Amino acid sequence: MNAIIPAEVIEQRIFLIRGEKVMVDRHLAELYGVDTRTLNQAVKRNIERFPEGFMFQLSKDERDEVITNCDNLSPLRFARTSPYAFTELGVAMLSSVLKSKRAIQVNIQIMKTFVNLRRMFAENKELSLSLEELEKKYDKQFKVVFDILNQLLSPEDPPKYKMGFLAKEKVVKYNSKKKRT
């Protein structure tokens, strides 16, 4: 089966909010090919399938942060209600609420992406722990190597350069004494 939606597109729409990896209702509706209103109505009709931990409504601050991070969510700035965020479990439950063929295929892609992200984070965590153990054991001998590896694993923000150019200001001296006539 060919992926209808590339994993990169799905990854860009997964946010970390309240310590959970979530997807916003608007993005899910777009991926499933339905209106956001339709998706939320289906969820509300089956609300018993979405207990706490499956979905939550964003606070105003969370909504503003998501809008800032994702350009295509800017229309939410003027929405009367905040969007819903679905955790991995909530996204899995959506497959039982939305029953179209596209919804099933999209759901499979989303679940695979969540699993891949979880695996990637676990591998990175294991690597970090292994490096810490080695660093403690061979601290003085390989300090330079460990410093470089640590920089590669947690890169800092790129340096900010000033844009534009500098011009020397021309200082004009004037005679403060006025001529008397």
How far, in Å, CA of 22 to CA of 167, rounded?
A: 49
Residues ≥6 apart with Cβ < 8 Å to 63: 76, 82, 83
Q: How far is CA 70 from CA 2, 62, 152, in A?
A: 27, 12, 27
Statement: residue 18 has pLDDT above 80: yes
Tokens in use for 163? 């844009």
Helix, strand, or coil (residue 84): strand
How far, in Å, CA of 59 to CA of 167, rounded?
A: 47
What is the pLDDT at residue 171? Answer: 52
Residue 54 has φ and ψ, to the nearest 5°, of -100, -35
Q: Which of 77-86, 92-101, 143-152, 172-181 has the lowest mean pLDDT?
A: 172-181
Q: How far is CA 109 from CA 2, 10, 31, 64, 69, in A?
A: 10, 8, 10, 28, 23
pLDDT mean over 126-130: 68
Q: Which of 5-9, 44-48, 134-138, 166-170 has the highest mean pLDDT?
A: 44-48
77-111 pLDDT tens trace: 878 888 999 998 898 888 788 877 777 788 788 88
Contact (Cβ atoms closer than 8 angstroms) between residue 87 and residue 53:
yes
- Answer yes or no: CATH 3.10.260 is held by domain 7-120: yes
